[in-house]
Amino acid sequence: MKSQCRIIAIVELILGVIGSFILAKGAGINVYAGGRNWTTTIFTFLIGVVVSYVFFVVLYSISEIMDNQEYIMKQLEKHEENPNTSSPASSAKVSRSNSSASLLGGTKQGTADEEDGWLCAKCGRLNPNSSSICSCGKHRF
Ligand SMILES: [Zn+2]
């Protein structure tokens, strides 16, 4: 889908340049004098190129957006395949919003440890959030 859109964008640009070339060729002929008005020719050509370039940028950005969306969806799917073991229902919702937020914000790492549990200050073991005492005997707070 996205590559299709990208191809359409490139084809549109090429056709736009060719089209504006043909248009400029026709528009530049001075019917009364019989010669070619170069100012009109170049002006028509430039407008045609600029318009087709704007359309190209729009189409290309759409393909980029679709690309990003596909990436986010893939990341969410990956996240759902490995759900949190501690508290399934609520934490799945949290991690989902977290992952999309971090994808958009660009900060990928950070909350993974907090989501999975808490680190013991004494022995450094990673404990689940459901237990408030580490296996070494140290309390969480
Ligand atoms: Zn400990």
**pLDDT per residue over 55-89, tens digit each?**
999 999 988 888 888 899 999 998 887 765 554 55
Q: Give the position of tokens 């028509």.
A: 44
Helix runs in the chain, H state only: 2-27, 38-81, 88-105, 112-116
Cα(128) to centroid of ligand 1, in Å? 12
The answer to whether the CB of 141 falls within 8 A of the CB of 131 is: no
Q: Is the pLDDT confidence value at 30 over 80? A: no
- What is the tally of structural domains in the chain? 1
Q: 18 in a domain, yes or no?
A: yes
Which range of residues forms the domain containing residue 14? 2-82
Residue 119 lies in a domain: no
Whether the per-residue pLDDT at 131 is higher than 60: the answer is yes
How far apart are the C-alpha atoms of 87 and 83, rounded to whole Å? Answer: 9
Q: 110 versus 130: which is more confidently predicted?
A: 130
What are the pLDDT digits (tens) for 80-111?
877 655 545 544 444 444 444 444 444 444 44
Report d(CA 27, CA 40) in Å as an integer: 7
Which residues are placed with Cβ below 5 angstroms of ligand 1, an ion? 120, 122-123, 125, 134, 136, 138
Q: The tokens of 89 are what?
A: 């229902």
Whether 58 is covered by a domain: the verdict is yes
| 131 CA distance to ligand 1 middle (Å) | 12
Whether 127 is covered by a domain: the verdict is: no
Report the pLDDT value the prediction gives residue 1, as an integer from 0 to 100. 58
pLDDT of residue 85: 52
3-state helix, strand and coil shares in percent for the chain, rounded to the nearest 5: 65, 5, 30
